[in-house]
Amino acid sequence: MVAFLRSFAASLLALLILLAIIIGIAVVKFDSKSEIKDHSWLHIDLYGEVLEYDPPGGVMSEITGSDALTLQKILENLDKAAVDDRIDGVLLQMSASHSAGTAKMQEIRGAIQRVQAAGKPVYGYADAMNTPTYYLAAVCDSLYCPGSAYVNFQGVGGESMHLKGLLEKLGIDPELHAIRHYKSAAQMLTRTDLTPEAKKNRLLLLTDIWQIVGQALLEDRGLSEERVVELMEHALFTPDEAVSMGLFDRIAYWDEIEEMLKLEGDDQLRVVSNSRYADESPEDLGLKGDRKIAVIHAQGNIGGRENAVNPVLGIMMGHESIVRELMRAEADEDVAAIVLRVDSGGGDSLTSDLIGHAVQKVSQTKPVIVSMVDVAASGGYSVSYRATKIVADPATVTGSIGSISGKFNMSGFNEKIGLSHDSVTKGPNALLMSGNRPFTDEEWEKFSSNHWRDFRRWMMDVARQRGIAAADIDSLCMGRVWSGQRAVDLKLVDALGGQHEAVELAKAEAGLAVNEPVTLWHLPQKQDLISSVLGGGDAVAQAARWSVYREMRREAAVTWQYVNSEHLAVMPPLSIE
């Protein structure tokens, strides 16, 4: 009994110390929350990893200083800035070193245009510019860069990495069954190049993005396709050349922009950061209504039960986490409809199907509108197609209705390193999926036939749910990816737009008036501080894993940018005699 009391007292003391430390950090953090003054400017810095929504870890990530830059914060802050009388305009700082895809930038462009429609200017500043980022920058009222900026404006393209030769040297044989010709993910392991079909598909996607970007540059900067091609021939620009050839409006350093915009009599420009402004409630600025639209965020690689952060794979989407939020929104009487934001290139087929089944079930009670972000393909499409309606950005990558399955035969590798295995079995096919031996011909036939049966069941369900004739569905299910704008014509998607348009469609499906204000309820919600600490430490662990993953990605990106810089002003190493 004495030992138990000592153990209990020690555990209680440790918990109290942990609480004191975390609360102390939180107090310091939240005490530093500054007042937003009139005539302030919202500063958004697009740099590094740009997630769709906060990673698992919630408030702990903020306290530890590893909170993520998210598309959701940017969109919400821009919509708040459009109606906030304290905000005079937006300063959008950009760098080519960010992970936002074309679809994410489309949504930011739309939000910027809503700010401009409210009569507030948006000024862009970039220290490193490339063609994809210029698509976003072009929407700004004016563009500035410092005199030492890196400005690259060249054609769009992509490269694929192939590991077949490396695996052969290691003695690893990937025995993978891919359905079908366009399902190219396995080709990095099974080929030294892409198949003609895969190249054709990638070129089609690049062509769509080319048209989307080209139309925006024509409307925003008056750059015709001929002029764009001419500029791309030049490719690498000094800042002076970028200004003289119309890519930027003026050379200016950040402090010079602040000096230009600050109020007369003020020592410095009144600036509010993106993270600080995220603390301002939309409801306090009038962005609310009696009815709610639940916005459920489903991002990352699909696999497992709970949303999590894997230090190698990044954010994982678990079926129990997403299903729980769908059921929560369904049960809330104030929720008129649900918007499911999907940003995923796929993953485990079982996990995908379990989420998709819940989407279908809930949609029988309340409208469920899927809003696709950068990518909603393969498993990302599987969780989406059973919704009431699907909305995609024109540049969203979707489809990839195909499948890859198999195993890695490690017997050659094992032999190289002197590792041997023995086995005892009872019953047929006991070692069918063993990674220490190859498939026999009979086993391969059994495995591939089963894979085809599973795939055809999925293919025909897509046809039923999407109202696509059986004669047409086969050509759509060869593993091809499509842009959102092309997917509409193919009936894989219902409408074009981002979250803003998805919310409007959700209101219409729920029978709400077009002009009826609604409150957006984002799920999963962040745990409060006490819940994070008392919840078994999971939030703390997730925040730590996210911090490790983010720093690994950030350092790799910075190193890559440094190595590939056009000019390096580095002193050569000194030789000490």
Tell me, yes or no, whether 338 and 314 share the same domain: yes
The one-character DSSP state at 154 is: -
Q: Is residue 454 part of a domain?
A: no
Q: Is residue 445 part of a domain?
A: no
Work out the mean pLDDT of the chain and round it to a whole number: 89
Residue with tokens 């299910």: 477
Segment 330-350, tens digit of pLDDT: 999 999 999 999 999 999 999
Where a domain ends, among 526, 547, 563? 526
Give the pLDDT score at 181: 83
Burial label for 98, CB within 10 Å (0-12, 13-18, 19+), is buried
Tell me, yes or no, whether 263 and 359 share the same domain: no
Cβ(299)–Cβ(314) below 8 Å:
no
Tell me, yes or no, whether 130 and 228 share the same domain: yes
Tell me, yes or no, whether 335 and 269 share the same domain: no
Tell me, yes or no, whether 111 and 246 share the same domain: yes
Where a domain ends, among 243, 277, 311? 277
Q: Per the structure, how many domains does the chain have?
A: 2
Q: Is residue 163 part of a domain?
A: no
Q: Is residue 272 part of a domain?
A: yes
Where a domain ends, among 277, 298, 331? 277
Tell me, yes or no, whether 257 and 125 share the same domain: yes
Q: Residue 105 belongs to what domain range?
A: 36-158+203-277
Assigned token pair, 150? 């890196």
pLDDT of 1 strictly over 60: no
Coil, strand or helix at 343: strand
Tell me, yes or no, whether 366 and 223 share the same domain: no
pLDDT grade, residue 526 (50/70/90)?
confident
pLDDT of 400 strictly over 90: yes
pLDDT of 327 strictly over 80: yes
Q: Is residue 12 part of a domain?
A: no
Q: Is residue 435 part of a domain?
A: no
**Angle at Cα 395 formed by Cα 389 and Cα 396, nearest 5°?**
50
Tell me, yes or no, whether 341 and 363 share the same domain: yes
Q: Is residue 351 part of a domain?
A: yes
Tell me, yes or no, whether 97 and 211 share the same domain: yes
Give the pLDDT score at 563: 46
Tell me, yes or no, whether 342 and 251 share the same domain: no
Segment 111-129, tens digit of pLDDT: 999 999 999 999 999 999 9
Q: Residue 216: which CATH number?
A: 3.90.226.10
Give the pLDDT score at 575: 43
E-strand ranges in 431-542 read 481-483, 495-496, 518-523
Segment 34-80, tens digit of pLDDT: 899 999 999 999 999 999 999 986 554 554 445 689 999 999 999 99
Q: Is residue 423 part of a domain?
A: no
Tell me, yes or no, whether 323 and 241 share the same domain: no
Tell me, yes or no, whether 223 and 96 share the same domain: yes
Give the pLDDT score at 567: 47
pLDDT of 274 strictly over 50: yes
CA distance 298 to 102: 19
Give the pLDDT score at 19: 54
Segment 202-246, tens digit of pLDDT: 999 999 999 999 999 999 999 999 999 999 999 999 999 999 999
Positive or negative: CA dihedral 276, 277, 283, 289: negative
